[in-house]
Structure 1
Amino acid sequence: MLEVLTDPNGFFNRKINHDIEWKTPLIIMAVLAVIGAISAYTVTMKIMGALPEEAAAFAGIGAVFGIIGAIIGIFFMWILYSAVFYIISLVFHGEGDFKRVMEFVSYGFIPNIAGSIVSLYFTNKVFSNIDFSMTDPQLLQEAILSDPSMRIAGILGIIFLLWSANIWMFGLMYSRNLSFKNSAMTVGIPVLIYILYTLLNLKLLGV
């Protein structure tokens, strides 16, 4: 399976000749869901721990909702990415089953596993230095986004996303029977939009 990280073209070239298989994709997304749940729990507890005692009493409830939201969010993201790629590929007359697209898109999330672990480390570092006693949500948001660790996490996240995009391009090329150029455009458009959005949020574009 790790071959998809170094030779996605060869990996999907062989994989397309096999029946659709859900075990590995579900394991990949489940691992991401666990990391997301840990991250949500960590962040929620840090926020609640800085609140007044009467509000902190609800920390457990907030953590549970955070964990559930993180797990649902990961699987929703899997479906969303697959749907976006599938719809854009229609412009290039792509042909292929949506289930096959979902299967191949899941492999593109493997770099996200490492990315999520790195992000968890930096997020934990950021939230350890934030003063949650600030009452102005805007000031709190600016404090979080201006933290150097958050910017490092954002830049590393973009690097891992580009790695994922490389895998998705080959995955879409085979699952939707596209030329590499059309597959690159199918994946590149939403990925570029997301990268620009991230850079703007991190105030790295000077806009």
Structure 2
Amino acid sequence: MSITQVLTNPNAFFAEKTRTEVEMKTPILIILVIAVLGAINAAIMTQKIMEILPPEAAAFAGIGAIAGAIGAFISSFIMWIIYSGVFYAISSILGGEGTFKRVLEVIAYGFIPSIASGIIGIIVMVTSFSVENFDMQNPELLEQAIVNDPTMRMSVLIGIIFTLWSANIWIFGLVHARNMSVKNAAISVLVPVGLYILYTARHFIGA
């Protein structure tokens, strides 16, 4: 069983995967890679913003970049647990059976598309994202400028596409991890993911 099969045929992958004991080394490694990519992305963005601040504030650019990287790193693991918890809770209401640990395992595999998304995000951040025209004196205007930046919008759009890919994987993960129908697994996944995408699209793309 190849891990790449989770991207091309998640139904068959999880059908075989859930016949074995829960194994957490690979899931943790997947989230760790995503966390590292997220930390790099956050550090680059924070560094770019801090570099055009007034000299007295720019002195803290390194600290800001480190803080941003640590926050992004930790948030990847937190989001893994939150996603798993929400899917577990909704699937429980719909009659799902199976352990939370198994759900954690299959949800981690569903984050694999985020690795590609993270790499693309870093490339976009390094090559395209610019803060030269941002107003550093007004935090509200700065936030709005970031939201309206075409590069950021494109990055968010790419993130939404990869999230939908992950959602497809999560659906089949829940089918086998929670012994559910495809319909109920789809409800368990698409309701929270749909709300997240609508919020993101409204906040960035529709800004």
Report what 1:153 is aligned to.
Answer: 155
Q: Distance in 1 between matches of 2:106 and 2:176?
A: 9
Conserved? CA contact 2:129–2:151, under 8 Å: no
Among 151, 165, 185, the residue aligned to 1:163: 165
Unaligned runs of 5+ in 2: none
86-95 vs 98-107, which deviates more?
86-95
Given that residues 44 and 62 in structure 1 are in contact (C-alpha distance below 8 angstroms), is that contact kept between their aligned partners in structure 2?
A: yes
Contact 1:126/1:144 (<8 A) preserved: no
> Structure 1 residue 63: deviation in Å?
1.9
Q: Which amino acid aligns with 1:175?
A: A
Structure 2 CA distance, aligned partners of 1:144 and 1:56?
19
User: In angstroms, what is the RMSD of aligned CA positions?
Assistant: 1.5
- Could you state the TM-score of these two structures normalised by the residue count of structure 1? 0.93
What is the CA-CA distance between 1:194 and the residue it aligns to? 0.8
1:69 aligned partner: 71
Aligned residues: 205
Partner of 1:196: 198
Q: Does 1:60 align with 2:62?
A: yes
Q: Residue 79 of structure 1 corresponds to which residue in structure 2?
A: 81
Aligned-pair CA distance for 1:47: 1.3
Matches within 5 A, 1:179-194: 179-194=181-196
Contact 1:168 1:187 in 2 (8 A): yes
SS of equivalent residue, structure 1 residue 95 = coil
Give the equivalent residue in structure 1 for 2:137.
135
TM superposition shift of 1:191:
0.6
Match of 2:100 in 1: 98
* Of 62-71 and 153-162, the range deviating more from structure 2: 62-71
Normalised by the length of structure 2, the TM-score is 0.93
For structure 1, which segment, 160-169 or 51-60, has the greater mean C-alpha deviation from structure 2 after superposition? 51-60
Q: Tell me if structure 2 keeps the 8 A contact 1:12–1:171.
A: yes
Structure 1 Cα separation of the partners of residues 16 and 113 of structure 2: 21
